[in-house]
Amino acid sequence: MNVKSWGAMLVAATVAGGCGEADRQAGTTPADTAHSPDAAYVLAAEPSGSLGVGEARRLADEEVTVVGRIGGSAKPFVDGLAAFTIVDPSIPYCADEEGCPTPWDYCCTQNEVKDNIATVEIVDDQGQTVAKDAKALLGVKELSTVVVQGKARRDEQGNLTVLASKVFVKK
């Protein structure tokens, strides 16, 4: 086989491999699209005294600062509303080497997630949930670590919802 043939094979393999990778990523990895966050809701510095989600579910007062990682299901964001679920950062998600296509669903640690998950709704001055995707509003994606400040609302079943007015995006 001459140099040209090897070159052609290399190009073909690169194109084929590249396409497959692109397809895989398009469907399964967090969106990499860069969104410029809305300064009205995003904090420049990390607030102090934040609680993990698990602790907040047990102890939180009306005003809380909670830290968590966006995830808990295959689709943690609500379409068209600035709302999502966060999981306590102490709960591990599937490691990269496990090859899980949606590590943010915590499929390996579902039982631990139940008591360490909270819903975050970004609310405006009137207390209404902002009608914009959280990804675009805050510049976040699945598995981003966020610190949210706001009012805690807990129902009889122990579900915690944080009506957040400010969010700090850690990474």
Partner 1 sequence: MLGFRPLPWEYGVRNLLRRPTRSALTLGALATVVLLVFVVVGFIRGLERSLAVSGDPSVVLVYSLAAEESIENSSIPARTDGLITASLSGIHKRFGVTHVSPELYLGTRVAVGESEQGALGLVRGVTEAVPLVRRRVRLIEGSWPGPGEVLVGKLAPAKLGSTADELALGNSVRFEGREWKISGRFTAGGSALESEIWCRLSDFQQALKRQDLSVVALLLREGASASEVELFCKRRVDLELQAVRETAYYESLQKHYRPVRMLAWLVVFLVAGAGVFAGLNMMYGAVAGRIREVATLQAVGYRRRAILLSLIQEGALLSAAASLLAGGSALWLLNGMAVRFTMGAFTLRVDSVALLIGCGTGLLLGVLGAIPPAIKALRLPVAESLKAI
Residues that bind partner 1 (CB under 8 A): 72-75, 78-81, 83-85, 114, 117-119, 121, 129, 155, 157-159, 161
Compare residues 79 and 97 and give the one whose CB is closer to partner 1.
Answer: 79
Interatomic CA distance for residues 82 and 136, integer angstroms: 9
Rounded Cα–Cα distance for residues 51 and 67 (Å): 6
User: Minimal distance in Å, beta carbon 134 to partner 1?
Assistant: 11
Tell which residue, 137, 134, 166, has the closest CA to residue 151.
166
* 53 touches 154 (CB < 8 A): no
| Beta carbon nearer to partner 1, 11 or 16 | 16
Closest separation in Å from C-beta 113 to partner 1 = 9
Tell me how far apart the alpha carbons of residues 146 and 139 are, in angstroms, rounded to a whole number.
11
- Least Å distance, CB 107 to partner 1, is 10
As a whole number of Å, the CA-based R_g of the chain is 20
| Closer residue to partner 1 (CB): 14 or 159 | 159
Distance CA 1, CA 58 (A): 69
**CB closer to partner 1, 47 vs 109:** 109
Query: Least distance (Å) from partner 1 to the CB of residue 133?
Result: 10
